Structures are given as structure tokens and as C-alpha cells.
């Protein structure tokens, strides 16, 4: 089984003297390039897709963050899975 999930990904890159947004922007570029549905929010980015695909995306985000100068990385992940598919649109339509 490889269900559709929604995942909130928060990337917190750490390096003395480096503004974290530089690395966060690179992480968002990776998400955008994945062509999965996503929504950038102030504290995290929400992505939807199949479980295995999202886990590969998270691994790639880790790699790109370190390639772009972070020395330490904290990634907070929230996963919603359901028998019935739930999309980002389903959750956000009433607020937009």
C-alpha cells in the first residue's frame, strides 16, 4: 500500500553567520521541482503525494540543504494519512 498523504515539512538549517532563508529557499525549490501539489506557509510547506515519493523528497531536501551550506539541520515533519484521500485544497478552500 502506498497511500496519498499530506505532509507538513519545516526545515530549520543552522550555521553561524548564515541566514537560514537561503537554505530554506533551496528546500522549497526542491519541492517545487518535484511537481507535487504543495503550499508554502509561514512556518512550513505542505506537500501531498504518495508516501514513498514524499519520503524520497524529504531525503533530497536533506541533501540539498547540506549542499547549500548548512552545518546542522532540524526537519520537523507532520504526516496525515487517511483511508479517504484528503487534499491541500480540501483543507484550505474555505480560507482562500
**Taking the domains of the chain in order of start, what are their residue ranges?**
4-95
- Is 2 strand, coil or helix? coil
Cα dihedral 20, 23, 25, 30 sign: negative
pLDDT attached to residue 1: 56
The fold adopted by the segment(s) 4-95 is Alpha-Beta Plaits (3.30.70)
CA-to-CA distance for 7 and 56, rounded, in angstroms?
Answer: 13
pLDDT attached to residue 2: 60
pLDDT digits (tens, 9 = 90+) for 30-79: 999 999 999 999 999 999 999 999 999 999 999 999 999 999 999 999 99
pTM of the full structure: 0.89
φ, ψ of residue 41 in degrees (nearest 5):
-120, 170
Q: Which of 21, 17, 20, 29 is nearest to 64 (CA)?
A: 29
Amino acid at each position: 500500500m502506498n497511500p496519498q498523504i499530506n505532509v507538513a515539512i519545516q526545515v530549520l538549517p543552522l550555521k553561524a553567520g548564515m541566514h537560514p532563508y537561503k537554505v530554506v529557499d533551496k528546500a522549497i525549490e526542491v519541492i517545487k521541482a518535484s511537481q507535487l501539489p504543495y503550499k508554502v506557509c509561514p512556518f512550513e510547506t505542505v506537500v501531498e503525494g504518495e508516501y514513498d515519493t514524499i519520503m524520497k523528497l524529504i531525503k533530497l531536501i536533506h541533501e540539498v540543504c547540506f549542499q547549500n551550506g548548512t552545518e546542522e539541520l532540524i526537519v520537523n515533519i507532520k504526516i496525515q494519512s487517511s483511508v479517504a484521500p484528503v487534499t491541500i485544497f480540501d483543507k484550505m478552500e474555505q480560507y482562500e
